[in-house]
Amino acid sequence: MSVIKENLELIRSNIKEFAHNVKRSSEDITLIAVTKTVDVDKVLEAIEYGVTDVGENKPQELARKYDIIGDKVKWHLIGSLQTNKVKYIIDKVHMIHSLDRESLCEEIQKRAEKIDRVIDCLVQVNISKEDSKHGLYKEDVIDFITNVSSKYNNIRIKGLMTMAPFTENEDEVREVFRKLKDLSLDIDKLNISNVSMKYLSMGMSNDYKIAIEEGSTIVRLGTSIFGERNYNKQQIK
């Protein structure tokens, strides 16, 4: 049997179990298969086994794979996005998970307006304040969202995204996810026009159990589906 199929079956049953444990429905949790560095044939295999959403962290890689695979899955840009690369993905992406600064909003707005699209985005939050992580500090998120809502008609904020710190300490990871959830509840109460907190994108291969327990609605899994990434390997074009 295919390893990818087996991995997906295990993950789906885990998601059900983790959700069930905290009285949530697994139907409220979307699995994004993170396909960075993964060859197209493997991505297609995952799609065959029911993957509906894929995530890439590099715009050009997303564009290259989109050109082969197309619209049969939803494409998510999950990594930090340089303004000069927005043009590669603006007409392909289902959602951008890494909105974190105004210059990026300006570029998305400009490009989206040109093709008459409204782009769904999540605001990336750096809860743990690690230097290595992108995203806004928690204290700055509400001002940022209020500003985006009033200025950029072709951007629609649909929730928040974060990455947990690199640590073995589960309590620390849980704390980060809990803070993101709390922030989303605070924002929800403000009823900012054009802004919803429908999605919380949190949880990766090694922490999606905790993320689901803390309210995640989107988990982004790479390694647990496709195995360890090989960054040195030549990518199939």
Ligand X SMILES: *Cc1c(COP(=O)(O)O)cnc(C)c1O
Q: Does 127 bind ligand X (CB under 6 A)?
A: no
| Residue 154 vs 212, nearer CB to ligand X | 212
| Gap between the Cα atoms of 92 and 76, Å rounded | 9
Contact pattern from residue 133 through residue 172 relative to ligand X, giving x for each residue in contact according to CB under 6 A and a dash for the rest:
------------------------------x---------
- Using DSSP's 3-state secondary structure scheme, residue 196 falls into strand
C-alpha pair distances (Å), 199 with each of 37, 38, 180, 219: 26, 26, 11, 10
For residue 16, how many other CB atoms are within 10 A of its CB? 16
> Measured from the CB of residue 137, what is the shortest distance to ligand X in angstroms?
18
Burial class (CB in 10 A: 0-12, 13-18, 19+), 130: middle
Q: List 74's β-bridge partners, or say none.
A: 53
| Residue 98 vs 109, nearer CB to ligand X | 98
Q: Does 204 bind ligand X (CB under 6 A)?
A: yes
> Measured from the CB of residue 156, what is the shortest distance to ligand X in angstroms?
20
| Gap between the Cα atoms of 175 and 196, Å rounded | 23
| Residue 33 vs 108, nearer CB to ligand X | 33
| Residue 29 vs 163, nearer CB to ligand X | 163
- Asked if 18 contacts 206 with a C-beta cutoff of 8 angstroms, the reply is no
Which of 4, 34, 123, 176 is in the footprint of ligand X by CB under 6 A? Answer: 34
| Residue 26 vs 206, nearer CB to ligand X | 206
> Measured from the CB of residue 229, what is the shortest distance to ligand X in angstroms?
7
Using the CB atoms, write b or e for 160-197: b if 16+ within 10 Å.
Answer: bbbbbbeeeeeeebbbbbebbbebbeebeeeebeebeb
| Residue 8 vs 34, nearer CB to ligand X | 34
> Measured from the CB of residue 163, what is the shortest distance to ligand X in angstroms?
6
The residue whose Cβ lies closest to ligand X is 222
| Residue 60 vs 147, nearer CB to ligand X | 60
Stretch in the footprint of ligand X (CB under 6 A) among 67-75, 170-178, 184-192, 201-209: 201-209
- Asked if 31 contacts 219 with a C-beta cutoff of 8 angstroms, the reply is yes
| Gap between the Cα atoms of 10 and 12, Å rounded | 6
Q: Does 222 bind ligand X (CB under 6 A)?
A: yes
Q: Does 82 bind ligand X (CB under 6 A)?
A: no
Q: What is the residue whose two structure tokens read 């990871």?
A: 173
Q: Which residues bind ligand X (CB under 6 A)?
A: 34, 36, 57, 78-79, 163, 204-206, 220-224
